[in-house]
Homo-oligomer: A and B are copies of this chain.
Amino acid sequence: MARREITFMKATLEALSEEMAKNPAIFVLGEGVGKRGGNFGTTTGLYDLYGPERLCDTPICERGFIGLCAGAAMTGTRPVVDFMFSDFILDAVGEIANQIAKIQYMSNGRLKMPVLLRGSIGIGHSSATHHSGSYYSMYAHFPGLRVAVPSTPYDAKGLLKRALNCDDPVLFLEHKSLLAAKGPVPEEEYQIEFGKASVKREGGEVTVVAIALMVQHALKAADRLASEGVSVEILDPRTVSPLDTEAILKSVRKTGRLLIVDESFAPCGIGAEIAARIAADGFDDLDAPIRRLNGLHAPTPYSPPLEAAVIPNPETIAAEIRRLLEE
């Protein structure tokens, strides 16, 4: 049978739809998740299947409806917030970090907190500074949250299904430049565990850990370098919390060189965390300094030439790999 290829968005829609069919306690909240089917088509068709209470349009009160989810999750339902752009839920960081993330702990494990927060991240399409944020590093900093940042339709479906079967709060972050990308997704049921990296390309000379869209960019860079005779291994952690340190250590043991590519801000970012872990536990395996390639530490500008200047691309990634190989 031919491998089925579907888009990232379709893969997540399948995951959500399948789980909603199984579990009547799942409901979705967000602006336009009802009849409209979601700003990114994330709930297309579900309103007709499950009705307005399970596909609930909200007023523009992100803090409010995320705070509401905490109470819902404690009392027998499983809320999904479809927040459109990760920038919008900065108003809810108090509810996320101080309530949702902490209540399992504070109740000594007597309350569960199965809240799924899902929506788009990433720079692209001249979305400008209020529609380009990522913030996964911030969420990985807080204890009590799971943070998934898939880069393929397959991973997206498997991780979303996992999230909907897990009692922890999960941030599920979808890069907007990946939503229309297609990839193989089997018809059969599967889930992907959190904290398991995926080797997106095997190679022997340098390890590149990349996040979300940067995985695709790194793959392009590796293709180019292959033609120059350079063998690049590419790892996608898939979840930044938990983070699969073992897989990265294993790869660095082989290559001796590590570059982390992350389009978002460098300071206290996930690239720093990866570098710190390897500088601690993989120190003896390193043949060269650990390098990070990040987007500029600046708000995201609108104009295409400015926007392009603030994020890594296949060329800058390839250049950085070449430099690292010379160290």
Contacts and interface: CB of A to CB of B under 8 A. Distances in A.
Interface stretch (A13-21, A109-117, A205-213, A267-275): A267-275
Interface in A117-136: 129-130, 133
A98 B102 contact: no
A40 interface: no
27 contacts: A90-B94, A91-B94, A98-B129, A98-B133, A101-B299, A102-B299, A105-B129, A137-B141, A137-B268, A140-B267, A141-B267, A141-B269, A143-B297, A143-B298, A143-B299, A241-B267, A243-B267, A266-B273, A268-B270, A269-B273, A276-B276, A276-B292, A280-B289, A280-B290, A281-B289, A283-B289, A283-B290
A289 B279 contact: yes
A266 B270 CA distance: 11
A225 interface: no
A1 interface: no
Contacts of A297: 143
A268 B138 contact: yes
B141 A129 contact: no
Contacts of A106: 129, 299
A273 to B, nearest CB: 5
A209 to B, nearest CB: 12
A183 B290 CA distance: 40
B265 A142 contact: yes
Contact of A290 (B101, B267, B279): B279
B291 A143 contact: no
Nearest to A302: B106
Copies in the complex: 2
Given A143-B265, A267-B140, A270-B268, A276 B290 contact: yes
A278 interface: yes
Interface size class of A (residues with CB under 8 A): 35 or more
A90 B92 CA distance: 8
A308 interface: no
A91 B63 contact: yes
A244 interface: no
10 smallest beta-carbon distances between A and B, as pairs: A275-B276, A283-B289, A90-B94, A279-B279, A272-B276, A93-B93, A272-B272, A91-B94, A279-B290, A141-B268
A288 interface: yes
A102 B129 CA distance: 8
Contacts of A195: none
Contacts of A291: 280
